[in-house]
Structure 1
Amino acid sequence: MGREFLLPDLGEGLTEAEIVAWLVAPGDTIVIDQAVVEVESAKSIVELPSPYGGVVASLFGEPGQIIHAGQVLLTVADAATAMDVPDVPDVPDVPDVPDVPVAAATAATPSEGSGAVLVGYGTTESTRPASTVPAGRFGRTGTPSETHVFPADVAALPAPTLPVAAAQTTPTASVMTGVLHPARRSPVVSPIVRRLARDNGFDASMLAGTGQNNLVLRTDVDDYIRDLTARPAPARATPARNAAQPADVSADIRIPITGLRKAVSARLTTSRQEIPEATIWLDVDATALFTARDQLLTATGERFSVTALIARFVVAGLRQFPLLNSSVDTASQEILQHGAVNLGIAAQTSRGLMVPVIHDAHAMTTRQLRDSLAELVAHSPDGTFPPSALTGGTFTLNNFGSLGVDGSAAIINHPEAAILGIGRMIERAWVVDHALAVRTVVELSMVFDHRVCDGKTAAGFLTYVARCIENPVSLLADL
C-alpha cells in the first residue's frame, strides 16, 4: 500500500510553495531522508526529504505549480511489493531525451523514522546516508568507483531492471538544444536560470541542456531567448489602422504576484497601513571611516568593509538607544523591547528584496560581525538563504548606496520599529576648520515608528552613528 508524503508546514505562517524541480522520478528507489523535491516558498528555496523509504509510485505536480500545505507531493510504495504491483505509472518515453537507467538504492523499512525535522512527521535518530544516494538529483547511477555505503540496519533491496537496450541508450544527435519539448524534464539547478526562463514565458526544463547529464545552463536559456527574438513573427491578419497610429503597439503584460513577491507585498502593505512612520536624515563626513578601515588592514592584515564597520556602530547605537530595537504588539497594545540585537541586512537578490538576519549581533566582535555579513553577501546573488536566516530580525540596515542613490524614505520591515539607510559615498565640497575641503560624504536616512519613540530618541541614535563614522575612535568610549 502506498504512503503519501504531504507538503509539510514550512513554518512562519507559510501555507504554499512552488515546485522548482523533482529530484526523483516514478520507479526510483529512495531511502528515508533522501531529498525528493525542491520547492520555493516565500522565504527560500529548500529541498524536502522524504519521511518514507521505498519505491516512488507517483509524483503530483509539475515544476512551476503552486501547492498548498497538506497536499500530496508523492506516494511511496513498499519496495518489497512494488516489484509485483503493475499499476506504478510509467514515465512516457520522449524520443529526443536519453533514457537514464534506474539506479539501485537501499530503502529503509517502514518502521524506521525520519531524521529530518518535518512538521507533522516527527523526528528520530537520523538514518540519512552521509553521501549522495545513487538515484540522486538527476536520477543517474553511480560508477563502480562511487559505491555508496548505507547504515548496516538498512535492508538492501533489489533494484528494478530495465531492458539492455534501454540501459545502454545514450544521447544522440537527435537531441537538439534550443528547442522546447513539453514532455522533456531536463535538470535545472540554478534559480537564476529558472527565473530567467520563466520571465521570458517558458520552462527551462523543456530545453535539452548542454551541461553534464543534460543540465540546463544559463547559456542554453540565453541562446533560446536570442533565437526566439530573432524568429519572424507569424503572419496574421491585422485590422486596418490610421496612418498616424504607431506601427509598434506594445501589449500589456500581466505579472502574477506569487512567492517571495507576494510575501514582500503583504509585509510592506501592512507596514504602511499600521505604522505611523517618520523620516530623518543627516549628511556625514565619512573620510575618517576610510582612514580607520585602512589602519585596520595595516594593523591586522585583514580587510574590513565600510558596511561592516557601520554595522558595528549601529549595534553599539542600539545598545545606547534600546527602544529602537523594539516592535509593537498591537493585540496587547504593548511595546516589546528586544534584549538581543538581530540585525537585518536588506539584500537585492535574483528572487527580489530579501532581509537575511545576523542573529545575536550584539554579542559579536567586529571581526565576527564582518564574517557574518560576508556570509550573507555570498548568498545574496541567488537568494539561497536558509529559512532560519530570514526570521527574527529586530532592526534593519539598508545600504541602498550600492544602487547609486543618496537617500530614501524606506519602508520599515514590519514588525520592526526602525530602519537605517546608507546612501552612496562620494566626494563633495565640505567645510573643515572654516575652509572648503574635498571630503567623502554619505547621507544617512532613518525611518522610525512614532508609536515607539519620539524624534529625540531617533535623532540621538542617528547622531551617535554619525559621530562614530566621523570619528571611529569615539566608539572606544562605549566598549
Structure 2
Amino acid sequence: MSAPAVDSGLQVFALPDLGEGLTEAELVSWLVAEGDTVAVDQPIAEVETAKSVVEVPSPFAGTVAVLHGRPGEVLEVGAPFLSVRPDGVDGGPAGEISGTAGPAAAALREESGVPAAATGDDGDAAANSGGSGNVLIGYGTPGGLTGGRTRPRKGATPGAAVSAPPAAASDAVPASPSTAAPALPAAAASPAPTSAASPAPTSAASPDGGTAPTCVSPLVRKLARDHGVRLTDLRGSGEKGMILRRDVEQAIAAGTASSDLEVAVEAAPGATPVTRAPDGTTEPADAPLDSRSGLVVLERSPLRGVRRTIADAMTRSRREIPEATVWVDVDATALVELREAMKRRTPDAVPGLLAFVARFVVAGLARYPELNSRIATADDGAQEIVRVDGVNLGIAAQTDRGLVVPSVRRADTLSARGLDTEIRRLAVLAREGKATPSDLSSGTFTLNNYGVFGVDGSAAIINYPESAILGMGRIIDRPWVVDGGLAVRKVTELTLAFDHRVCDGGTAGGFLRFVADAIENPGGMLADL
C-alpha cells in the first residue's frame, strides 16, 4: 500500500491539520481502495485524533493510486495520505493500478478495512456530484453527499470516574434503595450492518495453507474476536460464502467458541498473541514475562488517541495545579419532589436533575467568578489569572472512546430547560464520537456526575486548564435530622476540587454552600433566577 517510486502524474494529498493544532492522527479505516474512482469531497478514510473520530474527504477527483498507511497506524500531519491520478492522465509503472476486480483487489479491500459497500465494481464513486460538507483546514467545498455512511466508533478503555448513565436513565430518579442523579449518557456503538454489497469477495490463502475466511466487515471480525469465535470454523451464509454478522451471532449462541480445540484470540494492533484453552485459561503463544512482576504478559497496547490525551491532561493537572478539595452532604429531597411534581403536570417537558444542578452551578459562578477563571502564561512569561465573560459549562462523560468533556456554550444565558436541551444534544454527539475539538476544549468549569456509578464521592482531577470541578454523588435514602427529629431523606454528596492559586477556601466553601442551599431549597432559588 505504498508507492514503489515517485510518479509525477499523481496528486498527493497530505494529511491536513484536523483542528486545534493537532499534530497526528490514527488511521481507523479506509473507505476506498486503490483503483477506486473518487470525487472531490468524497469521504476516503476515518481517522481518530486526540479529540474525535472524523471522516476525511478527498480534495482531488480521479483514481486512487496509493493509500499511504494501514489501519491502526499513527500518521503525522503533513505526511502523504492519499495519491490520486487525475482522469485522463496515463499511469506509469509507479502508478499502475490493477483495478477493483479480482482476488488482489478483494484482499486489498479486506486488509485496508474497506467495506464492500463503499464502492462498486465500476468504481462509480463520482456519482454523488455534491460536496460532502467535511471541510477541513485549508480545503473542501460545501454541500452534502447523497450517500451517507455511519460507522461505530472505536472503543476505548474506560477512564477516570466521570458521569455517564444509560441513555434511558437521563431523566429518571432510580427507585429505592438508591437514587442516582442523571448525567450525560454513555457512548453506545451503532448497530453493525448485517450484510455487505458487491463486489463479491474472494477467499485468500491463510498462513497455514488453507483458505482464509471470507469476511469484509471489520465489525464482524471484532465481534468474533471479542467472543473467541474462530472465523475459519464458520460457514458463511452470504454471497459466495461471505461470513456475516448473523453467522457469528449464531456461533456465539451455539457455544462454538468453547470447542475442544484451542481458539486463537486476536489482540489489538501491536499486542502479544494469546491462545485460549477449553477450560477458559489463557496463555501467550511465546509466553513473554513481565520484567517487573515476573508474570506472563498478555497484551501490550500503545497509549494513543483519546487515552493518551486523557493521560497527558490528567498528569499535567496533577503536576501544575495545587488543588484542594471541599465537600458537603446535601438533602436533595425537595429537588426530587419538585421535579416529580413537574412530571405529573407536564411529563414530556421536565428537565433532568442534572440540568437543575447545572443551573444552580451557573448561578453560583456568577457570585464566585474566581472559580470560572484559569491560570495562564503571558507573552513575557509571567503567570496571570484569566477571567472571561460567561460560562461554558463542561459536562464530564464516560464514553466508549474514553473520557470526554463537551461544553454547553454560554450556559449562563440558558434556563434549566435550555440547559437540558443542550446537554441532550451533546449526549448524542458524545455517543456518536462526533463532538468537535472545539466542543471538547472550550469549557471554563466542569460538572461531573459520578453518582451514576454507584459511588458517593470522588477526589476528582481538575480538567486542565480549568480551575475547578464539581462532582455529585448518588442520591440515596439516608437518616437525616429534620426539625429536631430523624427522617428518611434523599441525600447526596457534593465535592469541589479547586485550584488554590485562583482562590482560597472561603471562596470555594461559599460556592459549594450556595449550590447546596439551592438544591435544598430549589423553589426559592429558581424564583430568583
Task: Say yes or no: TM over 0.5.
Answer: yes
- Counterpart CA distance in 1 for 2:314 and 2:256 is 39
Q: Given the alignment of the two structures, is residue 118 of structure 1 paired with residue 136 of structure 2, yes or no? A: yes
Question: Which digits, 9 at most, give the CA deviation of each residue in 1:265-316, with x for residues without a partner?
Answer: 0000000000000000000000001111122223444232111111111111
The Cα shift of 1:367 comes to: 1.2
Question: 1:343 matched to which residue of 2?
Answer: 393
Q: Given the alignment of the two structures, is residue 314 of structure 1 paired with residue 334 of structure 2, yes or no? A: no
Question: 1:186 matched to which residue of 2?
Answer: 216
Question: 2:303 matched to which residue of 1?
Answer: 257
Q: Contact conserved, 1:29 with 1:79, CA < 8 A, in 2? A: no
Segment of structure 1 superposing worse, 32-41 or 302-311: 302-311
Q: Given the alignment of the two structures, is residue 374 of structure 1 paired with residue 424 of structure 2, yes or no? A: yes
Identity %: 44
Question: 2:123 matched to which residue of 1?
Answer: 103
Per the alignment, in what secondary structure is the counterpart of residue 88 of structure 2?
helix
- Counterpart CA distance in 2 for 1:268 and 1:386 is 20
The Cα shift of 1:202 comes to: 12
> Normalised by the size of structure 2, how large is the TM-score?
0.70
Per the alignment, in what secondary structure is the counterpart of residue 468 of structure 1?
helix
Q: Out of 452, 462, 466, which is 2:512 matched to?
A: 462
Question: Which digits, 9 at most, give the CA deviation of each residue in 1:97-144, with x for residues without a partner?
Answer: 8895133244899xx99965322x345x53x454128xx889xxxxxx
Q: Given the alignment of the two structures, is residue 271 of structure 1 paired with residue 317 of structure 2, yes or no? A: yes
- Counterpart CA distance in 2 for 1:211 and 1:386 is 37
Closer/same/farther in 2, CA of residues 317 and 132 from structure 1, 3 Å limit: same
The Cα shift of 1:426 comes to: 0.4
Question: Which digits, 9 at most, give the CA deviation of each residue in 1:237-275, with x for residues without a partner?
Answer: x99xxxxxxxxx754533321111101100000000000
Question: Which digits, 9 at most, give the CA deviation of each residue in 1:403-456, with x for residues without a partner?
Answer: 111001100000000000000110000000000000000000110000000011
Question: 1:327 matched to which residue of 2?
Answer: 374
- Counterpart CA distance in 2 for 1:66 and 1:202 is 29
Question: 2:482 matched to which residue of 1?
Answer: 432
Closer/same/farther in 2, CA of residues 217 and 63 from structure 1, 3 Å limit: farther
- Counterpart CA distance in 2 for 1:73 and 1:57 is 11
Question: 2:96 matched to which residue of 1?
Answer: 87
Closer/same/farther in 2, CA of residues 181 and 475 from structure 1, 3 Å limit: farther
- Counterpart CA distance in 2 for 1:216 and 1:318 is 53
- Counterpart CA distance in 1 for 2:247 and 2:324 is 46
Question: 2:336 matched to which residue of 1?
Answer: 290
What are the within-5 Å matches in structure 2 for residues 387-398 of structure 1?
387-398=437-448
Task: Give the AA of the match of 2:47.
Answer: V
Unaligned runs of 5+ in 1: 139-166, 240-248
Closer/same/farther in 2, CA of residues 287 and 56 from structure 1, 3 Å limit: same
- Counterpart CA distance in 1 for 2:139 and 2:523 is 52
- Counterpart CA distance in 2 for 1:208 and 1:7 is 40
- Counterpart CA distance in 2 for 1:464 and 1:104 is 62
The Cα shift of 1:384 comes to: 3.9
Question: 2:63 matched to which residue of 1?
Answer: 55
Q: Given the alignment of the two structures, is residue 35 of structure 1 paired with residue 43 of structure 2, yes or no? A: yes
The Cα shift of 1:388 comes to: 2.8
Per the alignment, in what secondary structure is the counterpart of residue 46 of structure 1?
strand
The Cα shift of 1:354 comes to: 1.3
Question: Which digits, 9 at most, give the CA deviation of each residue in 1:135-171, with x for residues without a partner?
Answer: x889xxxxxxxxxxxxxxxxxxxxxxxxxxxx98646
Question: 1:131 matched to which residue of 2?
Answer: 146
The Cα shift of 1:210 comes to: 7.6
Task: Give the AA of the match of 1:391.
Answer: S
Root-mean-square deviation (Å): 4.3
- Counterpart CA distance in 2 for 1:319 and 1:461 is 10
Question: 1:445 matched to which residue of 2?
Answer: 495
Q: Contact conserved, 1:57 with 1:89, CA < 8 A, in 2? A: no
Segment of structure 1 superposing worse, 380-389 or 23-32: 380-389
What are the within-5 Å matches in structure 2 for residues 187-266 of structure 1?
187-188=217-218, 217=245, 220=248, 230=259, 231-232=261-262, 251-266=297-312
Q: Out of 86, 108, 115, which is 1:78 matched to?
A: 86
Question: 2:10 matched to which residue of 1?
Answer: 2
Closer/same/farther in 2, CA of residues 16 and 318 from structure 1, 3 Å limit: same
- Counterpart CA distance in 1 for 2:212 and 2:73 is 15
- Counterpart CA distance in 1 for 2:230 and 2:305 is 17
Closer/same/farther in 2, CA of residues 47 and 72 from structure 1, 3 Å limit: same
Per the alignment, in what secondary structure is the counterpart of residue 10 of structure 1?
coil
Q: Given the alignment of the two structures, is residue 471 of structure 1 paired with residue 521 of structure 2, yes or no? A: yes
Q: Contact conserved, 1:19 with 1:37, CA < 8 A, in 2? A: yes
The Cα shift of 1:476 comes to: 3.4
- Counterpart CA distance in 1 for 2:338 and 2:370 is 29
Task: Give the AA of the match of 2:517.
Answer: R
Q: Contact conserved, 1:186 with 1:209, CA < 8 A, in 2? A: no
Question: 1:154 matched to which residue of 2?
Answer: none
Per the alignment, in what secondary structure is the counterpart of residue 79 of structure 1?
coil
Task: Give the AA of the match of 1:28.
Answer: D
Q: Contact conserved, 2:224 with 2:248, CA < 8 A, in 1? A: no
Unaligned runs of 5+ in 2: 1-8, 111-115, 152-196, 263-274, 278-282, 287-294
